[in-house]
């Protein structure tokens, strides 16, 4: 019940295209959903996060869409750039026994020039 | 603002040997985390400290892993004896939690890449 399932495992997109990464969760105690970006040899860095009181959050070219009833959330990267090539992790946490940040398995994004 | 510092960056040891990793969190951050990231997987929490007390160590293999944060600042994670399956990147993160809350940004260090032969 603590799992966060992420897809796809890898994604190749042309420069200027839209990258979409999906995550699904089961634990209804989760109420914080961040996305982390990780470059090779670096630690993950927070990209954008959402709480379930809103269905969408946008920061620049990055948008999180959240569907509470389906227990799914996704990251959309508009106008993808080669510099966006990295591994992206979704994660979730909540209060009580769910307060630990649980990460998805990651999506390796490659943006072709 | 200086980030989370970790050392060493790389370590190669043979199985049954011991190894220690060091982490210095962002100044003023009360909460410190150690994660294990196996190749192709997301980070998995091993232990969480609030100041110098343990908040959560439920996923720490206590028969071989130990961690301490004696003065509430830097921390050491030790593996003794190491197994082949311990090959992974060990990430340290910190956040400015004052209590064991939820939703605070975690700032990660670059990690220590461990290879056990």
Of A54-68, A91-105, B19-33, the one with minimum mean pLDDT is A91-105
The pLDDT of residue B100 = 47
**Highest mean pLDDT, choosing among A14-18, A100-104, B50-54:** A14-18
The C-alpha of B65 sits at a distance from chain A's nearest C-alpha, in angstroms, of 19
pLDDT(A110) > 60: yes
Of A4, A49, A100, the CB nearest to B56: A100
Q: How far apart are CA A38 and CA A19, in angstroms?
A: 16
CB within 8 Å: A49 and B103:
yes
| Residue A32 touches partner B, C-beta closer than 8 Å | yes
| Residues of A whose CB is below 8 A from B48 | 100
- Could you tell me if A49 and A73 are in contact, meaning their C-beta atoms sit under 8 angstroms apart? no
pLDDT(A102) > 50: yes
Q: Is the dihedral of CA A93, A111, A7, A86 positive or negative?
A: negative
What is the overall mean pLDDT for chain A?
Answer: 93
The C-alpha of B111 sits at a distance from chain A's nearest C-alpha, in angstroms, of 6
Q: Mean per-residue pLDDT for A35-55?
A: 93
- Cα dist. A6→A20, A90, B40 in Å? 11, 7, 12
Residues 6+ apart with CB under 8 A from B21: B6, B7, B8, B11, B76, B77, B78, B90, B92, B112, B114
The pLDDT of residue B105 = 87
| Residue A106 touches partner B, C-beta closer than 8 Å | yes
pLDDT(A4) > 80: yes
Total domain count, chain B:
1
Q: Which of the residues in chain B have pLDDT under 70?
A: 1, 97-102
The pLDDT of residue B72 = 84
The pLDDT of residue B37 = 96
Domains of chain A, each with CATH number or no CATH: 4-112 (2.60.40.10)
- Between B27 and A97, name the one with better pLDDT: B27
pLDDT(A2) > 90: no
Residue B24 belongs to domain with CATH number? 2.60.40.10
pLDDT(A97) > 70: no
The pLDDT of residue B2 = 81
| Residues of B whose CB is below 8 A from A37 | none
């Amino acid at each position: 019940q603590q799992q966060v399932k992420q897809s796809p495992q890898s994604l190749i997109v042309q420069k200027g295209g839209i990258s979409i990464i999906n995550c699904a969760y089961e634990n209804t105690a989760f109420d914080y959903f961040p996305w982390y970006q990780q470059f090779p040899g670096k630690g993950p860095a927070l990209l954008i996060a959402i709480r379930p009181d809103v269905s969408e959050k946008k920061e620049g070219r990055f948008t999180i869409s959240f569907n509470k009833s389906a227990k799914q959330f996704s990251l959309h990267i508009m106008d993808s750039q080669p510099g966006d090539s990295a591994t992206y992790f979704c994660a979730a946490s909540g209060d009580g026994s769910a307060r630990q940040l649980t990460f998805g398995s990651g999506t390796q994004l490659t943006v072709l020039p | 603002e200086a980030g989370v510092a970790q050392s060493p960056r790389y370590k190669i040891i043979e199985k049954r040997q011991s190894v220690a990793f060091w982490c210095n969190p962002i100044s003023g951050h009360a909460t410190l985390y150690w994660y294990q990231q196996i190749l192709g997987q997301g980070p998995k929490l091993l232990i969480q400290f609030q100041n110098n007390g343990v908040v959560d160590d439920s996923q720490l293999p206590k028969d071989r892993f130990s961690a301490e944060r004696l003065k509430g600042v830097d921390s050491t994670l030790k593996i003794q004896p190491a197994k082949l399956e311990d090959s992974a990147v060990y990430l340290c993160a910190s956040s400015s939690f004052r209590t064991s809350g939820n939703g605070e940004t975690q700032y990660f260090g670059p990690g220590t890449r461990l290879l056990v032969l």
